[in-house]
Structure 1
């Protein structure tokens, strides 16, 4: 996007202001251009494709976890609906409600844009004429951050100017949208991306960027991002820059991804679980026999974890997943451990000492699974 007169600017000036693709975040570079490019959200894409053939677009509410394509989908739909960049700029207002969430924004910026009648279809700056529906679109990202008063004021605007303006509310938590507002919208739920869809997209980006990543690295990206494709792409770009910072470039490994993501390496969690008496040798390829646990061995391991600077919350989260998903532990053992993790999580949220609570969890988990 340019902020100068292209006729008056020289080619050197244009080149100077052009966005260097190497500096562009991959999240934006590979954002879907059309709704056909949206990954994994088959039902939503199928419904929205029908809107492209008609002008009957309702108010919409997109909700679901972060990084599942909500904002990308509505932006891609808007570009396809309005065609030219000129129409897109004139007829689409995108606001991040987490920054501008008060009632003043609703009464001023949103209402002023919603009440403006769309201009008649004109020839775009590129000389072409594009099909264009007779309404505008207002996109409110992070709409669940809007105050109750702002949401209340918004519902009247949605009714009054429905003929010339459509709203798309994008949020993570649909329960934070007031019912009168939600009832005026068609709801679309975005689910976390399945591993196969994430893997295909990450592999496509890696190929386009000419970097080599094996299937193990792709799996690590997916596991550390928990279905958030945006986060996985960011990790991949960071790992690529880290790899290319050396001469010659070093291969990207799973350990690199784990360090970038801020998670505790799987080998460290497995060793800690091994000390607690959890048998991970067969399923995690650790190869170390389960040692008879003692207070001294557990305390020494906890001190080692703390010296490494690992987050206590992250340790508990990963240890919880390992135990709850363990194939041989009984349901009784898992329920006892889940109760222990819950108490520790509450204590850490209240500001308790991390080392003491990790030690307490270790001792209690050891006792729970050996009785």
Structure 2
């Protein structure tokens, strides 16, 4: 897919009025637009809820036609590091005056929580030096990974996770405009696979549309995801003490479908709460999953760890399910 045809760019909100399900944030930002002023800001929320889109919509509304001349967008997790960010701000951006009636420029710094503490300390210094003529909008998934001196210099805006209706309605809107045929049940599956990440959902819809009519089968094939039904069947084998059958299904996911072991654990976690077993059993199973997810993240052998996980889960179920 060529960049100019990417739907996430084509349908990115252009103004604050187009932002999905962030009412309180939008109201506050509109007030700043009317005042023609702003503090440093920190946008916090899960992936794909519109943090960067909101930042860009805000500067568009603030600067109107001159926004490109007054805004610098950088990715803070860029491997070139804080020195490149410092150079771009200091040498190419801070030395020129803002164009238009707004007396300052804006730097949008995406994925700020990916920066090391040393890089954040350097960033704090940049924010101090250029506070007079530059404002910063930082975006992050986890505010606890942002050092306190930066947080204290920013007004924090927390972004809500998008609801199923928010995501599905946006997908339907795009499908209609792009004249894509989508089986109605496919929207639900796209939402489940994307985990509420609208950016991921739109990319998945566009990829699936290349195969013609968008069906659940195509969606799962494109995403390389596991159908909830498969996970429920494996868990049912475990509850019933049918270890070898559960193992066979898990190894198929691992070797034939190419599903990473940690993803298998993630899907187990999502379905365990729906199991028809006592609450205490669910709690123990979740504890077990946490242990084995850690082992897999540390690089342990996937087949061995998943076999051990299934065995441990079966022993737990045997203690609670008669």
TM-score (norm 2): 0.90
Which residue number corresponds to residue 67 of structure 2?
A: 88
Query: Which residue pairs with 2:126 in the alignment?
Result: 157
How far is 1:22 from its partner? 9.6
Corresponding position of 2:234? 272
Contact 2:237/2:245 (8 A) holds in 1: yes
In structure 1, the partner of 2:274 is 325
After superposition, the C-alpha distances for 1:138-159 in whole angstroms (9 at most, x for unaligned) are: 1111222334333323334333
Match of 1:138?
107
Q: Does 1:360 align with 2:308?
A: yes
2:30 counterpart of 1:49:
yes
2:219 maps to what in 1?
A: 257
SS state of the match for residue 83, structure 1?
helix
Instruction: Say if 1:38 and 1:254 are closer, same or farther in 2 by CA, change over 3 A.
Output: same
Deviates more, 1:297-306 or 1:360-369: 297-306
1:12-59 alpha-carbon deviations (Å, 9 max, x no partner): xxxxxxxx9995100100000001111111111110011121122111
**TM value normalised by structure 1:** 0.78
For residues 99 and 278 of structure 2, the distance between their equivalents in structure 1, rounded to whole angstroms, comes to 68
Map 1:105-254 → 2, pairs under 5 A:
105-113=84-92, 115-116=94-95, 118-119=97-98, 121=100, 132-243=101-212, 251-254=213-216
C-alpha contact 1:35 1:45 (8 A) present in aligned 2? yes
Alignment of 1:289-328 (within 5 A): 292-309=240-257, 310-326=259-275, 328=276
SS, match of residue 161 in structure 2: coil
Could you tell me whether the CA contact under 8 Å between 2:70 and 2:106 is conserved in 1?
yes
C-alpha distance 163-370 of structure 1, shift in aligned 2 (>3 A): same
Cα distance in 2 for partners of 1:155, 1:307 equals: 47
- The correspondence for 1:70, drawn from 51, 64, 72, is 51
Residue 100 of structure 1, CA deviation: 5.8
The residue that corresponds to 2:19 in the other structure is 38
Counterpart Cα distance in 2 of 1:101 and 1:319: 38
CA contact (8 A) 1:103 1:147 kept: no
1:340 shift after superposition: 2.0
CA deviation after TM superposition for structure 1 residue 306, in Å: 4.1
Asked if structure 1 preserves the Cα contact closer than 8 Å seen for 2:71 and 2:106, the reply is yes
Residue 128 (structure 1) aligns with: none
Q: Which runs of 5+ in 1 are unaligned?
A: 1-19, 122-131, 244-250, 278-291
| C-alpha displacement of 1:186 | 0.6
Paired with 1:359 and 1:313, the residues of 2 have a C-alpha distance of: 13
Q: Give the structure with higher Rg (CA).
A: 1
Distance, in Å, in 1 between the alignment partners of 2:302 and 2:116 is 35
User: Between Structure 1 and Structure 2, which shows a larger proportion of helix residues?
Assistant: 2
Q: Give distance in 2, aligned partners of 1:191 and 1:159.
A: 30
Superposed CA deviations along residues 249-307 of structure 1, whole A, max 9, x for unmatched, are: xx311122122222112232222122223xxxxxxxxxxxxxx5344434444444444
Q: Is contact 2:69–2:99 with CA below 8 Å preserved after alignment? A: no
Q: 2:205 & 2:270 partners in 1: Cα distance?
A: 24
Secondary structure, aligned partner of 1:163: coil
Q: Relative to structure 1, is the Cα distance of residues 133 and 100 closer, same or farther in structure 2, using a 3 angstrom cutoff?
A: farther
| Structure 1 residues 80 and 347, CA gap change in structure 2 (3 angstroms) | same
Contact 2:235 2:246 in 1 (8 A): no
SS state of the match for residue 242, structure 1? coil
Aligned length: 318
Structure 2 stretches lacking a partner, 5+ long: none
Q: Cα RMSD (Å) of the superposition?
A: 2.4
Q: Is the contact between residue 58 and residue 166 of structure 1 (CA under 8 Å) also seen in structure 2?
A: yes
